[in-house]
Amino acid sequence: PSFGAAAAALSVAAALPPSARLLRERRRRRGTCGRRGGDVRAPVAALRAASVRYHEAVEAPAAQELARKLGLECAALAPAAATSVAARPAAPYLLRADGRWQLVVGSLTDGRGSPLHFSLDLSEEGLPPQQRRRLSEPPSAHSLFVALGRPAPGLRIVDATGGFGSDAMLMSKCFGAVVSVIERNPLVYAVLQEAAARAAPPGSPSVFGGPVLFGDASEILSGSPAASAGGVAWAPGDVDVVYLDPMFPRQKARKGMPDLPMQVLAECCEAVASATGDAGPAESTAERRLLDAALRMARERVVVKRAADSPFFAGTKPASSLKGTTNRFDVYMPRGVAPASGKEAKTAADPFDAIRAAHLR
């Protein structure tokens, strides 16, 4: 089972048809389906093909406002789009319907050939059973808790590659951390921000405890205007931990298909990569910028999630690593902060054994 399952309520009429599954499998074997979180390489403006759409005129103001914020095209969805493939936007798009945002991905279809409509519900009632069970477990049952340094409640964390908020939910609801989230993909951000705000307790900006920001994490962590616009004015040391879980390459093909939220994320990231082309070395440069910005901001550590067989993020060796069967956590220490002792590193691997044993039972 996937321990990174996104906390999502999906509007899917039926299972993916064989043709769609074959397409996902081909892309997976090429390494395009990794984990959640945006592509750290491509600029936000690169997702030019994406758009914001609406059905009814009453939804137009909200759609136009979001489109201006994200820098996307906004238009009414053609009535023929419901029945004609040619009338639908080719790229993933945001659809405003019934007062909520849906992410429509035409390359993923239901059994009737209609595009997949993805929606996110982060309320307690909307979480899938697997996610609720995960949040109810003691913190020490999670390897991420160990990678974070077994923190006390109230730790200030920035999840700089938010995705659909799965790990942010774990860190806030299970570990008691105050989590601020950054997401650079405009499609993913819109769905995440709305779901996080709807599920937020009174007086909190989001269900995670901190704000959900849109933009380039390396710029926001460096104190760009995007951070101030989101009501954040971070200075080095204001954040205890920066957490990164970007899309990462796998050296070995996975035995199973990625879960549906991961496929949706991969489609959004693919749209960015297609618009910018194969950046190659630029990806390493962007990773280096992000890691440097995270290390300058974090007071205690930077934690990066990778596949167990993935190369180190930005080609930089971490101070320590916690390796499981499929994934690992690389821990980077800011300058002047001592790494974990050998004894701590040894005990840090224990939760992996407990998790595997629990699922084998």
Span 192-219, pLDDT tens digits: 999 999 999 999 999 999 999 998 999 9
Asked whether the CA dihedral 137, 37, 212, 223 is positive or negative, the reply is positive
With residue 264 as reference, give the H or E element that holds it. helix 260-276
| pLDDT the model gives residue 348 | 42
With a pLDDT cut of 90, the percent of the chain lying above it is: 45
Q: Looking at this protein, which amino acid is placed at residue 56?
A: E
Kindly report, residue by residue over 256-297, the tens digit of the pLDDT: 556 777 888 888 777 655 544 444 446 778 999 999 999 999
Interatomic CA distance for residues 351 and 178, integer angstroms: 23
Query: Residue 256 contacts by C-beta under 8 Å, 6 or more apart in sequence?
Result: none
Q: What is the mean pLDDT of residues 302-323?
A: 95
Instruction: Give me the pLDDT at residue 233, please.
Output: 74
pLDDT at 361 over 90: no
**Across residues 164-169, what is the average pLDDT?**
95
The span from the CA of 270 to the CA of 253, in Å, is 18
pLDDT of res. 225: 66
| Alpha-carbon separation of residue 261 from 5, 87, 236 (angstroms) | 8, 25, 33
Tell me what the mean pLDDT of segment 52-75 comes to: 92
Instruction: Kindly state the average pLDDT of the residues 54-73.
Output: 92
H-helix or E-strand spanning residue 287: helix 281-297
For 152, phi then psi, to 5°, come to -80, 160
| Beta-carbon contacts of residue 165 (< 8 Å; ≥ 6 apart) | 6, 7, 120, 122, 159, 181, 192, 195, 196, 207, 208
Rounded to an integer, the average pLDDT of 44-55 is: 68
